[in-house]
């Protein structure tokens, strides 16, 4: 019920994948105290659905909704604009807003939450990270009493779909096409495969879990485009698989005394880690607390219905007068790099002295070789092999690889992956 005790009037803005699922759940479950009054979309006539009760107004005039007595707008249009300005105007008018828009929340969430509070409304965005998995309410309600030191997650279902198919033997390009055909990947897959979608989610989680307010543009992102099938073969030798991992960690006793490290990109993940277990479009989030230890959440991180569950849950929370716990965060700059073991894949025209030259270039950067793996079945003229190195910073390794890159015998640019080992972080 709204403040006045009557039904909470809600309007859906954007009747696409998530918006239509939200309407579907509201019409099916009819949660007590909630009344769907409007559905907005551009060119609305294409969208009309006969399972929506006739009392609901279909409109292509967003202004009508913003000027109406609607209590909550559910923003499912996506993107920074115009969606952001609609949310802002609704909050300014004292309405509440629920959104699944991670980009908007990553870039403008703090300001919008402040606005909501100052006007007496609520801004909830449980669907913005990991869709139907209640990580955000888990952090706000259930883990607020811990001091979270670390988050590691599989936050992008498209990348996970691609990489888990590659684990079964497919090549990147083929799986990307399949993902596009299935509607899991956009025609322009940049946001997903290059890590920007996951990065926005990591920013939101860092804010809620680590209380660190990071600038998305500062977080190093690496694409999964360069991962190839042979990398999975070598990963298996190391009892690992490869996943797009988003991680952030406080180095030191707490945020006030320590730095934050963060990154997004493909990593070697030990098969024993819960992060190696998600397949298909599943998401997994691990939250490491000082007092409560590791908590793992997993499930369907995307898709209309799972995402809609999180949206409807937020609307129900507002109807029940449940306010989001306001966890104060502080502006934080990334304070260094993870110090991790790496594996580096080379493809060479084999000749004497190659390992010596590689070892020298690594040693110049203070990096020690840990092991060398070579899978049988390749000729000397086109020989892939993998070198693992002891924990080092990515930047040092890149300097070494820049030198190594000039070696004549290389048939491909060397490709390196960090190995996920939570204990080894420092630097």
Residues acting as catalytic residues: 201
52 binds a second copy (CB under 8 A): no
| Peptide bond before residue 128 is cis, with ω within 30 degrees of 0 | no
Closest approach, Cβ 160 to ligand NAP, in A, equals: 13
184 binds ligand NAP (CB under 6 A): no
Q: Which of 45, 55, 256, 291 binds a second copy (CB under 8 A)?
A: 291
Q: Which of residues 40-59 bind ligand NAP (CB under 6 A)?
A: 41-43
Q: Which two tokens stand for residue 412?
A: 């491909």
Helix (H, G, I), strand (E, B) or coil at 364: helix
316 binds a second copy (CB under 8 A): yes
Rounded-to-integer distance, Cα 96 and Cα 322, Å: 12
17 binds ligand NAP (CB under 6 A): yes
Look-up of token digits 């990593």: 267
Sequence-distant (≥ 6) Cβ neighbours of residue 196 within 8 angstroms: 190, 216, 221
Q: Which of 12, 90, 136, 354 binds a second copy (CB under 8 A)?
A: 136
- Which listed option, a second copy, ligand NAP, none, makes contact with residue 409 (CB within 5 to 8 Å by class)? none
Rounded-to-integer distance, Cα 56 and Cα 38, Å: 5
138 binds a second copy (CB under 8 A): yes
- Which listed option, ligand NAP, a second copy, none, makes contact with residue 87 (CB within 5 to 8 Å by class)? none
277 binds a second copy (CB under 8 A): yes
Helical segments of 78-151, H only: 83-92, 102-119, 135-137
H/E run at residue 393: strand 383-393
329 binds a second copy (CB under 8 A): no
Q: Is 380 annotated as a binding residue?
A: no
Q: Which of 2, 8, 15, 205 binds ligand NAP (CB under 6 A)?
A: 15
Between 321 and 366, CB nearer to a second copy: 321
CA 245 to chain centre: 8
Q: Among 73-81, 243-251, 339-347, 403-411, which window interacts with ligand NAP (CB under 6 A)?
A: 73-81
- Phi, psi at 8, each rounded to 5°: -85, 120
- Rg, the chain, Cα only: 24
Between 101 and 241, CB nearer to ligand NAP: 101
Q: Which of residues 139-198 bind a second copy (CB under 8 A)?
A: 139-147
Rounded-to-integer distance, Cα 77 and Cα 98, Å: 12
In SS3 terms, 41-93 reads as CCCHHHCCCCCCCCCCEEECCHHHHHCCCCCEEEECCCCCCCHHHHHHHHHHC
Rounded-to-integer distance, Cα 383 and Cα 399, Å: 23
- Which listed option, ligand NAP, a second copy, none, makes contact with residue 132 (CB within 5 to 8 Å by class)? a second copy
Between 2 and 307, CB nearer to ligand NAP: 307
321 binds a second copy (CB under 8 A): yes
* Binding-site residues from annotation for L-homoserine: 186
Which spans of this chain sit near a second copy (rule: CB under 8 A)?
Answer: 21, 25, 28-29, 31-32, 126, 131-147, 274, 277, 289, 291-300, 305-306, 308-317, 320-326, 328
* Binding-site residues from annotation for NADPH: 102
């Amino acid at each position: 019920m709204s403040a006045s005790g009557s039904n909470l009037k809600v309007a859906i803005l954007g009747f696409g994948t998530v918006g239509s699922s939200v309407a579907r759940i509201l019409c099916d479950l009819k949660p007590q105290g909630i009344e769907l009054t409007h559905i907005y979309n551009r060119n609305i006539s294409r969208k009309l659905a006969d399972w929506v009760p006739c009392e609901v107004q279909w409109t292509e005039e967003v202004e009508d909704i913003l000027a109406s007595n609607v209590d909550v707008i559910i923003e499912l249009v996506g993107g920074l604009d115009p969606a952001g300005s609609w949310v802002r105007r609704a909050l300014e008018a004292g309405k509440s807003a629920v959104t699944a828009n991670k980009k908007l929340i990553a870039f403008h969430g703090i300001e919008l939450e402040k606005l909501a509070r100052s006007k007496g409304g609520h801004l909830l965005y449980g669907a913005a990270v990991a869709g139907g998995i209640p990580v955000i309410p888990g952090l706000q309600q259930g883990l607020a009493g811990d001091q979270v030191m670390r988050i590691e997650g599989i936050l992008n279902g498209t990348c996970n779909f691609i990489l888990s198919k590659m684990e079964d033997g497919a090549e990147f390009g083929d799986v990307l096409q399949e993902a596009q055909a299935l509607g899991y990947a956009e025609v322009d897959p940049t946001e997903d495969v290059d890590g920007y979608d996951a990065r926005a989610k990591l920013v939101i989680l860092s804010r809620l879990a680590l209380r660190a307010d990071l600038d998305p543009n500062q977080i190093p992102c690496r694409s999964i485009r360069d991962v190839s099938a042979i990398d999975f073969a070598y990963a298996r030798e190391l009892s690992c698989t490869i996943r797009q991992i988003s991680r952030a960690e406080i180095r030191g006793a707490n945020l006030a005394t320590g730095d934050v490290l963060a990154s997004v990109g493909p990593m070697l993940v030990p098969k024993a880690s819960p992060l190696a277990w998600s397949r298909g479009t599943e998401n997994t989030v691990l939250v490491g607390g000082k007092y409560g230890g590791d908590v793992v959440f997993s499930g369907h991180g995307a898709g209309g219905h799972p995402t809609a569950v999180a949206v409807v849950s937020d609307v129900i929370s507002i109807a029940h007068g449940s306010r989001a716990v306001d966890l104060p965060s502080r502006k934080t700059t990334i304070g260094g790099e993870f110090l991790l073991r790496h594996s580096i894949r080379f493809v060479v025209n084999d000749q004497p002295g190659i390992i010596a030259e590689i070892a020298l270039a690594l040693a110049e950067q203070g990096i020690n070789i840990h092991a060398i793996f070579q899978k049988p079945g390749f000729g000397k003229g086109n020989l892939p092999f993998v070198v693992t190195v002891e924990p080092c910073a990515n930047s040092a390794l890149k300097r070494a690889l820049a030198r190594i890159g000039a070696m004549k015998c290389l048939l491909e640019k060397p490709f390196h992956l960090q190995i996920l080992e939570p204990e080894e972080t420092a630097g």
